[in-house]
Structure 1
Amino acid sequence: MEIDDLTPAEERLRRAFATGATVDFRGEGEPNGPERTVRAAVLRALLLNGPREAGEIAALKAVGARVTGVLDLRNAVVDSMVRLIHCRFDEAPRLVGAQLAYVSLRDCELPGLDASHARVDGGLRLTRCRIGGPVHLSRVRISGALYLDGAEVTAADPAQPVLQLNQAFIDNDLCARGLRTQGLIRLDGASVTGSIDLEDAELNNPGAQVLTAESLDVGANLLGRRLRAHGRIDLRGSRIPGRVDLLHASLSNPGGTALRASSCVIGELWLREGAPIEGRLNLRRAEVGRLQLEPEMLPDQVRLLDLTYTFLTPHEPAERRLPMLERDDGAFDPHAYEQLTAAYRRIGDDRAARAVQLAKQRRHRGTLPWYGRAWGHLQDAAVGYGFRPLRAAVWLLSLLAVGSITYAGHHPAPLKAGEAPDFNPVFYTLDLLLPVISFGQESAFAPRDGYQTLSYVLIVTGWILATTVVAGVTRTVSRQ
């Protein structure tokens, strides 16, 4: 079109473009009236071949305009700033493959936006925009930050992602505080040099994926305090060296997975002070430096196979942490118990570490055949699998008392009269109970009838106690 074939509103923009001045259409006529209406083709012509003045920086700046037609800048090179505020677009702008200096569409209304493969040398600002269609930012390269604070994005087709940032590269932060979406957000393979801020955001896609960010690479943090997500969040394979902050967050996907962070590498994962997670929590094969996890937030199903973490906070008794391991709907995983044990030992809580190891042996017992379970029950009752050594002392003292009192009242006859030592009921009972120590009593006397039966019981019980004690001590030493 000819640049001189302009309406009065468009002529004002043309004159202001040369000096980078702002044209404010608010308060001039009706919102959709001719006083505030400009054609997208005019904006395109200004950006590509607009007038320039020496010593001035040309820029397209407008407030409160209505833009008709399609702003088509596909594969265009635009070196002027674009700042359109409180504007209304009748059709979705097309910026595919464009090279742009800086774009701000703050507080605008758009039916969608397609900037796939675009390059923005400054920032891209969509703060508080109301977008009624999909936003395509796949493979976009933004040297500054991407702002989506307070934006509302919905899509007419629920099968299509509402916000696509696949393989996007953002050389600063992705700021999306208070973002509201209705549909799927895709961040698969995206790279954000700074942080992703989703504090106070509300993401809705009930019964389906609400945020998928597989292999996401974040340079700092993923912030989601007070985040409300209705649908599945998938962070599988992501690398976030800072913290994933989900304090006061509400994650809900009943009947499915609410949060999947399997195979992730995360500096700190904060799941505290929020409502209980509705849906499954999957942390399999994740590597977490510090896991801040409150038991109250855990759902009924937790998958922890091969999860590794260095520190676990806040400090809780083992009895409050163990249900987390028992909620894993997979097979028995000894690694999960070892991780929890190591976390307690790292802070010097040996009592809790022993409680976890005892729970591990009891859980393992359920996977054994009947004879293994029987032997396990015996070890548990006798010495608590070696983690309750005082039990063996109690058993020995009890049997020693029974044997001593019994044989004190009925001395067994000597095998060789005149050669036997003086009978001592205490040391005679110890001779029966301790298989590796001899006080010369057992070999010198021979009880009869029921007293002989009692001696057999004491001998067998002594061997069982000795075996379980040795097994427990061996397990403890090998663990150290």
Structure 2
Amino acid sequence: MESNDLTPAERRLWEAFPRGEGVDFREGPDEDACDGRDWGAERTVRAEVIAALLLSNPAPSGQVPGINVRGIRIIGKLDLKYAVIEHPIRLRACWFERKPQLYGARLRALVLTDSALPGLTASTLCVDITLRLNCCRVTGPVRLTGARIAGGLFLQGAVIRPGTLSDERDEPPLQLNHAEIGTDIIADDLTVHGQLRINGATIAGLISLDRAKLINPGGIALHAETVSVGTDLRGHRLEAEGMVNLTGARIPGQLLLTRARLANRDGVALRASSCAIGELWLRLCPPIDGIVNLRRSQVDMLYAEPGVWPSVIRTEGLTYRVLHPHLPAEDRLPALEREESGYLPYAYERLAAAYRTVGDEAGARTVQLAKLRRHRRTLPRPARAWGQLQDLTVGYGFRPLRAAGWLAALVLTGSLAYGLHPPRELKAGEAPEFNPVFYTIDLMLPIIGFGQESAFAPNGWYQWLSYLLIVTGWILATTTAAGVSRSLQRQ
């Protein structure tokens, strides 16, 4: 391209390029690039001029060329498909008439901060340093499928909406599936009206979605199946309308959803099944509006207040080692009743193990007792009656003091009754001295004998009382033995 074919605005850009100097066409620092359609010829640059600069302008000796411009209106299509460009491209606060075409390109660095674009086609793009889309306003799909970025991807404050063309309406507005990011994805305060797709991506550092808004009611707001991050996935104060799908994700650090609002009414709000997560934080969150699916996931530390869980959860096969905050077991048990699959013995065993991990044996026993009570509801009626009796007497072996209480109450009752009305001697002059306490114990305990039962015989309703004590003693002894045996087997 000849220099005499350039407009004054293009000539400024052309002359600044060899030295990488910045050119600012803005009238003020607070100017909005969304108004760029109305900018005049004095700040309009043809896309083909930018392409010609990047593709044909040689680098002068001892200088670092590059495009560094703010506040221009770019008309036409910036077509750099398959191009290999060694110069940095910085087009800040610019307005694009058509979406840039960067499919298969290899760039040094690309900065589009504060710009307004109708979309970005950059699948399989390779960037040696960084890609910045901070505070961009995009009204079409951002296609970064399979992109390779050696540095970081920055999307802070960007707003991305679906395209208006018929072939773009059903397309996810932000596509990062199978991308490889050498450091981090920083997308704090990002807003996506539609689906953020990042499934299969590999991020060496962290993904930060703090205060982001992902709006796709009735659909998938965050599609991150099998995503792999090096450290954390942050979503502090994240707002997601639609499913957050993390199936198969690998997050060795923290999945941080503190104060996040997750909503997908009549559907799954959070799906994190088959995941491997170091720490899952659901701290200070409002109740999740929708189903939570954590099936088959492995979590080292799970932080979740009881109030965060919805009415339906799916936890079959979920394993965790530590549960925070540490609360009484009675506060954790209602969540197990919300399991969609019904009674899951493993869920109770896992919760009991978490209490044992922190040394709370009383909490572990409470969970085990709740498990047996829940199991009892699944049994036939006769078995339920026997279980009810074991629960009432000794708490299935987890409440051994109940047996002592029952024993003391019955001994006191018998002692008072027979102390006031001693039974008659069976053989006069041969019976030992009557002792109402040991007589009652003799009736109740089938193994121990003090010679009282065989020497005296009560009459009337006292005889019926003796029958009651004998039967009660046998039942108490049997249930106690069953409970203690079960407790010893668990230990």
- Secondary structure of the residue aligned to 2:242 is strand
Equivalent residues in 2 for 1:246-395, closer than 5 Å: 246-395=257-406
Q: Which moved more, 1:179-188 or 1:449-458?
A: 449-458
User: d(CA) in 1 for partners of 2:373 and 2:27?
Assistant: 76
Deviations 1:153-181 (A, max 9, x none): 00035522111111110010000010011
Q: Residues 390 and 44 (structure 1 numbering): CA distance in 2 closer, same or farther, change over 3 Å?
A: same
* Structure 1 position 169 matched with structure 2 position 180: yes
Does structure 1 retain, via aligned residues, the 8 Å contact 2:157–2:187?
A: yes
Residue in structure 1 matched with residue 115 of structure 2 by the alignment: 108
Whichever residue aligns with residue 90 of structure 2, its letter is: R
Aligned to 1:423: 434
For 1:197 and 1:339, the matched residues in 2 are separated by: 31
- 1:30 deviates by 8.9
Distance 2:197 2:479 in 1: 56
1:369-398 residue CA offsets vs partner (Å, 9 max, x unmatched):
111211111111111111221111111112
| 1:27 and 2:27 are equivalent in the alignment | yes
Alpha-carbon offset, residue 42 of structure 1: 1.7
8 Å CA contact 2:3–2:11 kept in 1: the answer is: no
Does the 8 Å contact 1:17/1:51 carry over to 2? no
Amino acid paired to 2:122: A
TM-score, structure 2 normalization: 0.93
CA distance in 2, matches of 1:67, 1:122: 24
Contact 1:158 / 1:183 at 8 angstroms: preserved in 2? Answer: no
Alignment match, 1:120: 127
Q: Which residue, out of 196, 199, 202, partners 2:213?
A: 202
- The reply to whether residue 44 of structure 1 matches residue 55 of structure 2 is no
- Contact 1:14-1:50 at 8 Å conserved across structures: no
Q: CA separation in 2, counterparts of 1:379 and 1:4?
A: 99
Structure 1 letter corresponding to 2:248:
G
SS of match in other structure, 1:41: helix
**Distance change >3 Å, CA 404–CA 30, structure 1 → 2:** closer
2:91 partner SS: strand
User: Is contact 2:37–2:73 with CA below 8 Å preserved after alignment?
Assistant: no
Partner of 1:215: 226
1:437-448 aligned within 5 A: 437-448=448-459
Q: How many residues are paired up?
A: 480
User: Is it true that 1:191 corresponds to 2:202 in the alignment?
Assistant: yes
Tell me how far apart the structure 1 counterparts of residues 218 and 12 of structure 2 sit (CA, whole Å): 50
Shift of 1:443: 3.3
Report the AA paired with residue 225 of structure 2.
E
Q: Give the Å deviation of 1:222.
A: 0.9
| Counterpart amino acid of residue 24 in structure 1 | D
Deviations 1:44-94 (A, max 9, x none): 121111243111112112111111111111111111100000111111111
User: Structure 1 pair 283/30, CA: closer, same or farther in 2 (3 Å)?
Assistant: closer
Shift of 1:422: 3.4
Corresponding residue number in structure 2 for 1:147 = 154
| Percent of residue pairs bearing the same amino acid type | 55
Q: CA RMSD in A?
A: 1.9
Measured in 2, the distance between the counterparts of 1:52 and 1:396 equals: 97
Indicate whether 1:84 and 2:91 are aligned: yes
Which deviates more, 183-192 or 410-419?
A: 410-419
Q: Is the 8 A contact 2:273 2:297 kept in 1?
A: yes
The alignment partner of 2:5 has SS state of coil
**Cα distance, 1:109–1:200 mapped onto 2, change above 3 Å:** same
Looking at structure 2, the residues matched to 85 and 405 of structure 1 have their Cα atoms a distance apart, in angstroms, of: 95
Gaps of 5+ in 1: none
Would the alpha carbon gap of residues 31 and 56 (structure 1) be closer, same or farther in structure 2, given more than 3 Å must change?
farther
Please, which moves more after superposition, 105-114 or 66-75?
Answer: 66-75
Partners of 2:147 and 2:425 lie apart in 1 by 97
Shift of 1:453: 3.1
2:259/2:284 contact within 8 Å kept: yes
Question: Which is worse superposed, 199-208 or 291-300?
Answer: 291-300
Q: Secondary structure at the match of 1:330?
A: coil
Structure 1 stretch displaced more, 434-443 or 386-395: 434-443
Residues 106-131 of structure 1 show CA distances to partners (whole Å, capped at 9, x for unaligned) of 11100001111111111000000000
Within 2, Cα distance between the matches of 1:3 and 1:308?
68
Describe the superposition over 1:306-349 as per-residue Cα deviations: whole angstroms up to 9, x where unpaired: 22112111121222211111121222112222222222222222
* TM-score, length of structure 1 as denominator length: 0.95
Runs of 4+ in structure 1 deviating by more than 6 angstroms, as ranges, are none
Deviations 1:403-430 (A, max 9, x none): 2233334444455555443333322221
Which deviates more from structure 2 when the two are superposed, residues 144-153 or residues 51-60? 51-60
Return the letter of the residue paired with 1:362. R
Q: Deviations over 1:230-281 (max 9, x none)?
A: 1110111101111111112111111111111111111111111122211122
Instruction: State the one-letter code of the partner of 1:11.
Output: R
TM-superposed deviation, 1:286: 1.6
Give the letter aligned to residue 372 of structure 1.
Answer: A
Which one-letter code corresponds to 2:447 in the other structure?
A: V
Bigger mean CA offset, 255-264 vs 139-148: 255-264
Alignment of 1:214-233 (within 5 A): 214-233=225-244
Stretch moving more, 236-245 or 7-16:
7-16
Q: Compared with structure 1, are the counterparts of its residues 409 and 52 closer, same or farther at alpha carbon in structure 2 (3 Å cutoff)? A: closer
Larger displacement relative to structure 2 (232-241 or 461-470):
461-470
Instruction: Map Cα deviations across residues 198-253 of structure 1 (whole Å, 9 max, x no partner).
Output: 11111111111100101110101111111111111011110111111111211111
Given the alignment of the two structures, is residue 72 of structure 1 paired with residue 79 of structure 2, yes or no?
Answer: yes
In 2, Cα distance between equivalents of 1:137 and 1:453 = 86
Structure 2: distance between partners of 1:440 and 1:2: 124
Counterparts of 1:215 and 1:127, CA distance in 2: 26
Is the Cα–Cα contact under 8 Å of residues 245 and 270 in structure 2 kept in the other structure?
A: yes
Whole-angstrom distance in 2 between the partners of 1:71 and 1:43 = 7
